Structure 1
Amino acid sequence: MRAFGTAGLPEGHRCRRTGHCGVPPDTVPAMCPNPTSTGRNRDGSPRTTHARRPLQVSSTSPSRLLRTGQSGRCRGCGHRIDWYQRNDQRPIALHPTEMPSAHVPASCHWHLSSGIAHPHSDGSAWCRIPHAVLCPRRTPTTRINTHLEALRRQLAVRTRRLIDTGAFTPPTPPAGSEPPADNGRPTRPVVQLLLGRYLADRPLEDIRCVAQTRQRRRCPQPVLDPHTPAGIWMLLPASPQRGQLALPAAVMAVYDLGRLPYAEQLRWRTQRCPTHAAAPGDADIALAGWQVFDPLLHAEHIHTRLPHASTGRREEG
């Protein structure tokens, strides 16, 4: 049997805070907190901790992008925007909050379904609106009402406050056409894959994988892998794609991936490294930086000469 003192404590008990043994008689003992974690529960049972696992997206989901990778900031006004993919896999920036459908023109109604943005109303009293309609740095292409005009003025005031406090710096307007990078390498090359042409948002060597790692970070591996087949720089006619206007006869430098296997072209289109391309269950933490190339809208990115020191082989078209 274990002996207890007059205060109801075991003999030899030492207070963890004061270091004294026992307590004076007729004194209620004070509770001494233990700030250090012992790894056990109050009843003495071991405390189990579950390892945090990265999020995954179902293979049947139409959108592979995680919600954490959909938020961003507008480069023109500095306000928060939400990026979503459309049916054609092209991104669109939407205003982060819903708005009453009665205050938004029908041509600006958007709704979300399974992570995909659709350019029409879903019949509810609320809808989403593209940020380009409300951005104070842009001129709206559609006629807006007084409610949207008032919201544009509020965003303009907030942008001015961000600039005055130094939290946001507006971009400088371009002085002319975009100069090529070192060695004649285009900063935004045109890539041909999957029977179409796409404009990259950065040089080929700098295109990173958009998949999420187990540490919940973006994969640092490049899409251009030296152990996979490379494309060919070619001079091809600047012919328009379906639904685009024709240009005068001219040639342009294109990084052609059309001769590669379909799986390799799909890996480039989804912007994944070879490791994550073999793991379709891993989710994306960022949007792919491709844009459907339009020779009229992207005329400043057309280069009529092949790069001097470029990635892949060179071949005259």
Structure 2
Amino acid sequence: MRPNTAPTGCHWDGSPRTAPVRRPLRVATTSPSRLLRAGQSRRCPQCGNRIDLYPRTDGRPIALHPAELATAQVPAPCRWHLSSGIAHPHDDGRTWCRIPHAVLCPQRTPICRISRPLESARRQLAVRTRRLIDTGAFTPTAFPTTTAPTGTGSPDHPVVRMLLCLYFADGPVEAVRCVAQTNRRRRCPRPVLDPDGPAGSWSLLPVGPRRGELALPEQTMAVYDLSRLPHAEQRRWRIQRCSAHAVPHGTADLALAGWQVFDPLLHAEHLRTDLPYPPAHDSRER
């Protein structure tokens, strides 16, 4: 008896076998935020609960609670809404709004007075945190007190000058990683610093107050200066892309850029008054 097998392109009953077409995720070129939805969710390092990261109007990220809450239950200063992937610090007139995770995080002190429904949600997150710790699925991250760095070597949080602005980096210059999505839908592992391309230079600049701030004592700080590079290179650093993903069209982001607008008061503990390894810099210029 010979088995009657159906062709590879059909099911057992002879119906055609159709495979769904895999369409890559794309972001519109007119979108103000090029961050994919897959790159916005992560876990809070203090409580282990899920958070959604969104860029604000000033470009800095904010962690929001993943679920919407009734606007009447959320204090007015804690109401946020999303528009085209950008978080705005007020409600949009609807009955539902988003709330910062810092308000509900059980490991933090609430930044505002919260209502009973928010207290209940805060207790639920605390129970979930305890369950994650007991099962070994989460270990709280300890934030040690940082002191002003001394000695030679690249600063852990350097100040970078590009596009006529000063930015505070979330890691060493050599460790700033590309945020673009690869063909395998993963984050690009390449650094932004191209070893074969033009590099910046370390220099000492005065710490001056911004508009409307009090004057600070005269002192200088070490800055990784990119202002002498071409505008395209500075823009590539600003969007935190490697040389292979320098053109943003066609590839989306899987993470937010880690730059923060430098504030001499908020980032005073990370300022460095000496140049890191000046001999290596001099040899590279030659």
SS across alignment from 2:118: helix
Retained in 1: the 8 A contact 2:154–2:173? no
Cα 1:52/1:311, change in 2 over 3 Å: farther
Matched, 1:236 2:205: yes
Question: SS in structure 2 opposite 1:184?
Answer: coil
Asked if the contact 2:149/2:272 (under 8 Å) is kept, the reply is no
Instruction: Specify the alignment match of 2:2 in structure 1.
Output: 14
In the TM superposition, what are the counterparts of 1:9-48 in structure 2 within 5 Å? 13-15=1-3, 39-42=8-11
Q: CA deviation at 1:49?
A: 4.9
Gaps of 5+ in 1: 1-12, 17-33
Cα distance change of structure 1 residues 246 and 77 upon mapping to structure 2, 3 Å threshold: farther
Alignment match, 1:128: 98
- Alignment-mate amino acid for residue 97 of structure 2: C
Specify whether residues 149 and 243 from structure 1 end up closer, same or farther in structure 2 by C-alpha distance, changes over 3 A only.
Answer: farther
Aligned residue identity for 1:92: I
- Which deviates more from structure 2 when the two are superposed, residues 40-49 or residues 241-250? 40-49
Relative to structure 1, the CA distance from residue 50 to residue 165 in structure 2 (aligned partners, 3 Å threshold; closer, same or farther) is closer
Is 1:290 matched with 2:278? no
Higher mean Cα deviation, 184-193 or 37-46?
37-46
- The residue identity in structure 1 corresponding to 2:136 is G
Structure 2 gap ranges (5+): none
* 1:244–1:294 CA contact under 8 A, matched in 2: no
Corresponding residue SS for 2:147: coil
- Per the TM alignment, residue 249 of structure 1 is displaced from its structure 2 partner at its CA by 1.0
SS at match of 1:112: strand
CA drift at 1:15: 3.7
Q: Where does residue 73 of structure 1 map in the other structure?
A: 43
Deviations 1:95-135 (A, max 9, x none): 00000000001111101111111111111100000011111
Q: Deviations over 1:258-317 (max 9, x none)?
A: 222222111111000122112423111111111122222222211111112687559xxx
Shift of 1:66: 0.3
On the 8 A contact 1:53/1:214 being kept in 2, the answer is: no
Instruction: Report what 1:267 is aligned to.
Output: 236
CA contact (8 A) 1:233 1:313 kept: no
State whether residues 218 and 285 of structure 1, in contact with CA within 8 Å, keep that contact through their aligned partners in structure 2.
yes
CA contact (8 A) 2:148 2:272 kept: no
User: Which residue among 116, 124, 127 is the counterpart of 1:146?
Assistant: 116
When the two structures are aligned, how many residues end up with a matched partner?
A: 283
**C-alpha separation between the residues in 2 aligned to 1:256 and 1:216?**
33
Amino acid in the other structure paired with 1:149: E
Map of 1:30-179 to 2, 5 A cutoff? 39-42=8-11, 49=19, 52-177=22-147
SS in 1 for 2:233: helix
Assess, with a 3 A threshold, how the Cα gap between structure 1 residues 47 and 170 changes in structure 2: closer, same or farther: same
User: Residues 233-265 of structure 1: CA distance to partner in whole angstroms, max 9, x if unpaired?
Assistant: 011111133454432111111101122222211
1:135, 1:155 within 8 Å by CA — same for their partners in 2?
yes
- TM-score by length of structure 1 reads 0.81
Match for 1:288: what amino acid?
A
Q: What amino acid is the match of 1:189?
A: P
Please state how far the C-alpha of 1:175 moved relative to its aligned partner: 4.2
Tell me the CA shift for residue 73 of structure 1. Answer: 0.7
Displacement of 1:171: 2.0
Aligned to 2:186: 217
The amino acid across from 1:83 in the alignment is L
CA contact (8 A) 1:39 1:46 kept: no
Question: TM-score, with normalisation over the residues of structure 2?
Answer: 0.89
For 1:281 and 1:265, the matched residues in 2 are separated by 20
Structure 2: distance between partners of 1:173 and 1:220? 25
Q: Which SS does the other structure have where 1:278 is aligned?
A: coil
CA distance in 2, matches of 1:269, 1:180: 27
What amino acid does structure 2 have at the position aligned with 1:14? R
2:195 is matched with which residue? 226
Separation in structure 1 between the aligned mates of residue 127 and residue 150 of structure 2, nearest angstrom: 37
198-207 or 96-105, larger mean C-alpha shift: 198-207
Deviation at 1:203, TM superposition (A): 1.1
Distance verdict in 2 for CA 1:280–1:129, change over 3 Å: same
How far residue 50 of structure 1 moved from its aligned partner, in angstroms, is 6.5
The 1:265/1:161 distance shift into structure 2, 3 A limit, reads: same
Q: Distance in 2 between matches of 1:65 and 1:252?
A: 33
Superposition deviation, residue 173 in structure 1: 3.9
Residues 243 and 154 of structure 1: CA distance in aligned 2, closer, same or farther (over 3 Å): farther
